[in-house]
Copies of this chain bind each other. A is one copy, B any other.
Amino acid sequence: MSDTEITVVPDRQDIVLSRVFEAPRDIVFRACTDPALVPRWWGPGHYNTTVERDDVTAGGIWRYTSRDENGVEYRFHGVYHEITPPHRIVATFEFEGMPGHVSLETVTLWENGADRTRYVGTSVFQSVADRDGMVQAGMEEGAREGMTRLAEVIRVLRERSGQ
Interface residues of A, Cβ cutoff 8 Å to B: 11-14, 55, 58-61, 78-82, 88, 90, 92, 94, 100, 102-104, 106, 122, 124-128
User: CB distance B122 to A124 under 8 Å?
Assistant: no
A100 CB contact (under 8 Å) in B13, B88, B92 = B88
User: CB distance A124 to B100 under 8 Å?
Assistant: no
Question: Cβ of A61: which chain B residues have Cβ within 8 Å of it?
Answer: 58-59
Closest B residue to A122 by beta carbon equals B126
Query: In the assembled complex, how far is the CB of residue A150 from the closest CB belonging to chain B, in whole angstroms?
Result: 21
User: CB distance B126 to A102 under 8 Å?
Assistant: no
Question: Cβ of A12: which chain B residues have Cβ within 8 Å of it?
Answer: 11-13, 128
User: CB distance A79 to B58 under 8 Å?
Assistant: yes
User: CB distance A80 to B81 under 8 Å?
Assistant: no
A102 CB contact (under 8 Å) in B94, B102, B104, B128 = B104
Given A11-B11, A13-B13, decide whether A90 and B102 contact each other with a Cβ distance below 8 A.
yes
Question: Cβ of A92: which chain B residues have Cβ within 8 Å of it?
Answer: 79, 81, 90, 92, 104
Write 6 A-B pairs (CB below 8 A) sorted by A numbering.
A12-B13, A13-B14, A79-B79, A79-B92, A81-B102, A92-B92
Closest B residue to A60 by beta carbon equals B59
Question: Cβ of A94: which chain B residues have Cβ within 8 Å of it?
Answer: 81-82
Query: In the assembled complex, how far is the CB of residue A109 from the closest CB belonging to chain B, in whole angstroms?
Result: 13
| Docked CA distance A122–B88 (Å) | 24
Given A13-B14, A59-B61, A61-B59, decide whether A104 and B79 contact each other with a Cβ distance below 8 A.
no
| Docked CA distance A59–B12 (Å) | 28
